[in-house]
Amino acid sequence: MKLDWDIDKTWTLFLDRDGVINERVFGGYILQTKDFVFKEGVLESASSLFGKFGKVFIVTNQQCIGKALITEVELNAIHNWMCKKFSENKARINAVFVAGELKNTVPSRRKPSIEMGLDAKGKYPEIDFSKSIMVGDTDSDLEFGLKLGMKTVLIESEERCDLSPNIKLASLTDFNKML
């Protein structure tokens, strides 16, 4: 099945990290690059998938910073390594936005808050949220996208989701095949 969303370079792709790009560690955190395992097919399909969009962003909740399990500098090193791996596979991430505070912190940048999306638009004013897609594996990812008026894609995992996305898929590779 092909989607009829007319994706072109005027569209923006927003991706959650854990559970979408890399294997999610339920009950734990990715604290070193050696623990960061790309999901099957992600690196191989990234060039084709990301190339369909004008901009690609990662928006990720990382309360491991708030828990003092990792510093922002250490997390940035993981993200730089991840972006380098994408680049080696001819895929480009424009920016990574992180919400590092603990759950239930007020105010919060954590999804489903739209702050990371607004940060992206502040840096890239050409973003049109009605021509954007949020890909995630949790209700907070979907709610983030819905609040901003994006189309939503759920990558199914062990996480129970109550919200209804535009489509549900097993992987980013499957999403790429639909575009």
Instruction: Write down how long the chain is.
Output: 179
What are the tens digits of pLDDT across the range 81-91?
A: 999 999 999 99
> What pTM does this model have?
0.97
1 within some domain = no
Q: Is 35 a catalytic residue?
A: no
- 148-152 mean pLDDT: 98
Helices (H), the chain: 42-50, 72-88, 115-123, 139-147, 172-178
pLDDT in tens, 106-128: 888 999 999 999 999 999 999 99
Which one of the listed residues 18, 137, 139, 141 is annotated catalytic? 18
The CATH number for 119's domain is 3.40.50.1000
Q: What is the mean pLDDT of residues 145-164?
A: 96
Residue range of the domain that includes 54? 14-178
Set 8, 16, 119, 162: catalytic member: 16
pLDDT of 1 strictly over 80 = no
Domain count, the chain: 1
User: Which 8-state DSSP code applies to residue 100?
Assistant: -
User: Is 137 marked active-site?
Assistant: no
For 13-41, how does the pLDDT look when each residue is reduced to its tens digit (9 = 90+)?
Answer: 999 999 999 999 988 999 999 999 999 99
In degrees and rounded to multiples of 5, residue 70 shows phi and psi of -155, 150
Cα–Cα distance between 131 and 61 in angstroms, integer? Answer: 23
- Could you tell me if residue 9 is inside a domain? no
CB 3 within 8 A of CB 178: yes
Whether residue 3 is contained in a domain is answered as no
In a domain, 98, yes or no: yes
Q: What mean pLDDT value characterizes the chain?
A: 96
